Structure formats: structure tokens, C-alpha cells
Structure 1
Amino acid sequence: MCGRYALTATPKEISEFFDLADLDDFPARYNIAPTQPILVVMSSERREPGSNLPERRAFLARWGFIPGWVKDPKEFPLLINARSETAIGKASFRAAMRHRRILIPATGFYEWRRPPKETGVKPQAYWVRPKKGGVIAFAGLMETWSSADGSEVDTAAIMTTGANATIRHIHERMPVVIAPEDFERWLDCKTREPREVADLMRPVQEDFFEALPVSDLVNKVSNMGPDLQKPVAVSPPEEEPPKKAKPDSSQMSLF
């Protein structure tokens, strides 16, 4: 987690939420998948006239983090998530945690409840959205990877943490959500070290999200319409023992 998400807010709503300059128009995206370009927000060293807050800038990055020391991305696992519990000390993310913390605008994410294979029951997709609606901010990390020929690509990963009670029956992980009042602290990589923002990398409050079962249309990246988020009726899941936490290498897999 997180392997798919959506950003369906208008550019104006996003600009206001993140205190950005006006964004160019772009379409709603209902099924954002790894390796696609995603919108990210970062602090800039420039400051708005008369403002005490750092100017924030928005730009596109590839969803799939590539550490600067990687020689050939084709031989490196796809890092779409960074585990918040280990990112500070992990070789792949250590530099980004110190110097390139970002926010990733979203309006919700998808998760799959995967019963044991022996049951023969198909995975059930859920659309997880804030109960109050609107835009949210995932914590993220960014790295600009440079190839041998001098070309560069901005890359990003979404930070995850242990799921809260609302999500735990679906999956054991969830994205880290940064509240607006904490944007400045999270994005301030100039004066705040990773240990000073570690308290922000926690599960969001229990009543923040609601999880709605949806059809398997979201399984295909080519499906991109609002019907992906239409709720469907499903049988209530049977209680299962809590899943064991995956090893750190799980952040190198798609889900």
C-alpha cells in the first residue's frame, strides 16, 4: 500500500489547499498507477512578498522512486512506497528524508482486501476517501535521478504507516496523511531534520477515512472514469487474525 490513488479535485481547489500559485488546467484522474506522472508539492527557497511561509511549487514526477546512486533503473526494483518506520535509515530513502520531503495531492486511494489463496475468494477492491471529502496530502519523498547521458527525471514515492482501525480489516498499511497545519514543518528540509518530523508519520485519526467496496474495474489501468468509485454490495468479511508485518523489502513490491 499504496498502489493506486485518485486526484479528482480541480486545479483551483488544489492550489488553495496547498497555498500554490494558480495551476494549469488538467483533467480529473480516477486511477493513478505506478510509473505514471503524478503531481507533487515541494518547498521552494524563494518566498512570497510579505509572507513568512516558504513558497511552494507543484510539478510532475514519476511515481516510482529511483535513488541517485542507481546505475540502471531497469535492474532496480520499483519503489512506489517508503515505509515510514525505516525510511530515515534506509539507504534508498535516507538522503530524500533529509533533503527532499514532498506532499502528494490526492482525493483518496484504492486498496484490496486479499483473502487467503486457499479460500478461492477473489480480492475485493475498496475506494478509501476522506469522510468530509476534499483534497488530502500524502507524505512523500522525491529524488531526481540522472542518467549517464545527462538526462534527468524527477521520481517520487508515497510514505506508508500501519493502518488504523478503519483500514486494518482491508490491509495492514495505509498512506501517511499530513494535515494542513503541518505542511510547513514536513516540507522544511532546510532547518528540520527527519527525527524532528517523525511524529507526523503516524496513522490518521480513526474517523478520517471511509472505505467503500467497488468493482474490479480499478484493476485495469486503462479504466479511468468516475464509475471506478461507484460503491457495490459485498458480503461482510469474516474476521481474520491480524496479518504479520511484512519485512522491509515489501516496500519494493507493487502492493
Structure 2
Amino acid sequence: MTNIAFEEIYYYGLISKIFGNSTYVSSVTSEGGGYFQSARRASSRFTDLFRQLDITKFSKAELSSLYNVVEHNGVVEKISYTPYMDYLPVSNLKVNLIVISFIPVALSIIFSLSVLIGYLIRMLLYRLKKRGNPSTYFDKYYLAIHFAGVLLLINLFIIHTRLPSYPAHSSLRINFMFNLLYVVLAVAYLGLLMFKLRKSSYSKKQKVMFIMSGISAFILAAFIVGWNLYV
């Protein structure tokens, strides 16, 4: 009934008036703190990834100072961080799995950036030495997939920054279409890569770089599909 701006002037002290001061605690009996996530969240489709990032760690001392803590047999089952929102516990295993899932993605993005920067430096050196442009070979496809990977990162950042304003799903459709397009490009690149490596002769260094780019594209595509970032 008070779900409006500056609603705190209405609900401040309301809980204690209804339930009494027994809802407040000054200490917790659990061994320590832990990770908690808002129960007020979307947990399906593309929003799941960004809501998983909204995990807060509370120490035992911080838990003791919160609005309300529900415990059972020394285990914190729920905390009320504000009068209108509950936070539920998240296991350390789940937090670690989320972190681990981001490591290969981060490495793939770093690899794409390093490839593009390295190519620009190489092209600049060729121009300064008046030797024309670097040899292309498979480079145009190789560079294109890395450029698309960097654009993917920018696109995900745009989606993330728009979420706090609760945009209409239709307004993000173009962003999802780009994510899906990247998956298609990654699959096409992997197919082309296997064909080129079988039919053409490249140096060992070139093959390693091309294969690494294929792995990088596969990781990013799997990340999009796994977190439903295309719907």
C-alpha cells in the first residue's frame, strides 16, 4: 500500500507497532556470516545472470545489527535487510561456481582485446615501415570474431546498466538479437576454422592463435546460451 517514492515515512516503525520489538535481535547464534541474495528478484531468462551478481556478504557482527534475523538450529534462514525486503542465504559453493563461470569469460574478453590491440600495433608498424598491410590469410575472419566479442561485452554492459530502470522486454530485443547473432557467428567461425585448418597450411603459431580464438568464441557463445542472454 506504500509502494511509492519516499515510502519510508509511512512504514518506519510500523513493523514494531504491529509485531512488537521481539522482531529485533541484538545477536545471532550462528557461527559466522555468509552470502545472501534478495528474495525480491527475477530468477529466470536473461535477468538471472544479473540478479546473481547481486549477492551480499554479511559478517556475524553485521547480521546482529540488521532489522530481523530468522535462525533455526544455529543456521540463518532469512534476514530482513529493510522492512520490505528479505534476503535468503546463498551457499559458498554457488558463489564459487558463479565466480568460476566468469573466469573463462574474462580470459576470452582479454584475449580478444589483446588480439585487436596487437593487430593495430602490427598494422601501424607496417605502415611506418612502408611495407603495406600485414598479410591477411585467415585474419579477416579471425579479427572479425574477436571484434564481435568486444562488441558483445559492450552489449552486455548496456543491458546491465538498463536493468535498474526496469525496461520493457521489447526495448531490449535488439540487444538480445545481437547476442544471438554472436552465437551464430561463433558456430560459423568454428566450422570455417576446422575447414581452413584442414585445407590450408599455416605456421604452428598461427594455428595455435586460430584455435585459441575458436575456444574463446565457444566460451562466449556457451555463456550466452547458458545464461539465456538471448531471450
Shorter chain as denominator, the TM-score bin is under 0.3
| TM-score (normalised: structure 2) | 0.21
Larger Rg: 2
| TM-score (normalised: structure 1) | 0.20
Say which structure is richer in helix.
2
